[in-house]
Structure 1
Amino acid sequence: MNMAHREDAPVVRPLTDTDVPTSVDTLARAFADYPFTRHVIAEEGHEERVRRFQEICLTRIGMVYGRVWVADEGRAVAVWSTPDTDPSSAFAEVAPVLGGLTGDRQAAYASAEQAVAPHRPQEPAWFLDTVAVSPEAQGRGLGSAVLVPGIEEAGQAGCPAFLETSSERNVRFYERLGFRVTAAVTLPDGGPRTWCMRKDPC
């Protein structure tokens, strides 16, 4: 699956500070109308709330406690949490901010987390926190390319790679990368169907 040796493959590299503004913009646009974020983040000021939510995920979690790869200067970005470090303190620190961003959807966010939690790996795993490709950069293989380093490093570490998606179209995309559906959960409170997916190390 290693695409690094193909001359026409997209250039994928670890995120740098200069990539952050474009990467946040990429994530914000991708998730502005995503079923899960529509369900758990307040409608009032929704797009700005989503932008801040994604910025926190990128800069306070992924960049500090995980791994982040980009392609095309941040027009494609993948943010992973890894079992190498414990982000609990960071999540505790940002929890009030995230709670504020969910606004009147805070109960829906809590019930969604409760619904999918039993289906998450109990052993050490790489968790795909968020991934996106800018609309103008789609169709060039950047989505797959930016995910490959995390998938490969998880496998080399002997860990499963895990993700959740609320888009059925995304399920087929991830299946092509070797993930399999381990659970399909209809979130409470009128939430969307959400698929848990896992790729075990070879």
Structure 2
Amino acid sequence: MTTPRRQDATSVRPITDPDVAVAVDTLARAFADYPYTRHVVAADRHGERIRRYQELCLTRVGMVHGRVWVADEGRAVAVWAVPDQDPSPALVELAPILVELSGDRAAVAASADAAVEPHRPEGPAWFLQTVATAPEAQGKGLGTAVLLPGIEEAESAGFPAYLETSDVANVRFYERLGFEIIADVRLPDDGPRTWCMRREPRLR
């Protein structure tokens, strides 16, 4: 399988500060009722918690220690962790905040993370942290387009790309981009089914 061609590539670019507000709103709306976040984030003030969580993932992890692309001024956004930038210092700093955001689901969140950890790449890889397209921007190919720069860069550098999804509808979408299921995990504590997916580089 060859690398898929980028769709509507002229609308895709690295994120800039003016895009942040729209990108955070896109992510917050996309994950408000997502099975995984419903499972690991407290129900009270759930929307506020999700918005803050996605804001931290975008601005403190992706934009500082990874790569972020947007389309349509942030109505589609993809956040990657990359092999040559270590996010550990930011994650250590953010850990207490993330626990607080999980609220009474903090222990459940820890169990869910532990359940998928064995399937994550042991070596260097591009790790898709979060991706979303705003409802009003869907159906235009922007979800695919905003993912392709990361897929292509991982491919050209010879690294695998990895992601996790708890929405069965997403599995076929990612398979079309060359990802394969490497684990099908039922999260503990009556959690949602979660698929770990990996895309091996084809170029040698």
* TM-score, normalised with respect to structure 1: 0.97
Whole-Å separation in 2 of the counterparts to 1:9 and 1:122: 32
Whole-Å separation in 2 of the counterparts to 1:20 and 1:44: 25
The aligned residue for residue 144 of structure 2 is 144
The aligned residue for residue 104 of structure 2 is 104
Contact 2:32 2:46 in 1 (8 A): yes
Q: What percent of counterpart residues are identical?
A: 68
Consecutive unaligned residues in structure 1, runs of 5 or more: none
Shift in Å at residue 10 of structure 1? 5.4
The aligned residue for residue 156 of structure 1 is 156
Shift in Å at residue 11 of structure 1? 1.2
Structure 1 residues 33-88: Cα deviation after superposition (integer angstroms, max 9, x where no partner): 00000000000000000000000000000000000000000000000000111111
Contact 2:6 2:144 in 1 (8 A): no
Whole-Å separation in 2 of the counterparts to 1:182 and 1:3: 25
Tell me how many residue pairs correspond in the alignment: 199
Partner secondary structure for residue 191 of structure 1: coil
Letter paired with 1:131? V
| Alignment root-mean-square deviation, CA | 0.9
Q: How does 1:104-183 map to 2 (within 5 A)?
A: 104-183=104-183
Partner secondary structure for residue 64 of structure 1: helix
Whole-Å separation in 1 of the counterparts to 2:166 and 2:83: 24
The aligned residue for residue 2 of structure 1 is 5
Consecutive unaligned residues in structure 2, runs of 5 or more: none
Letter paired with 1:16? T
The aligned residue for residue 59 of structure 2 is 59
Whole-Å separation in 1 of the counterparts to 2:163 and 2:10: 23
Shift in Å at residue 157 of structure 1? 1.1
Shift in Å at residue 9 of structure 1? 4.9
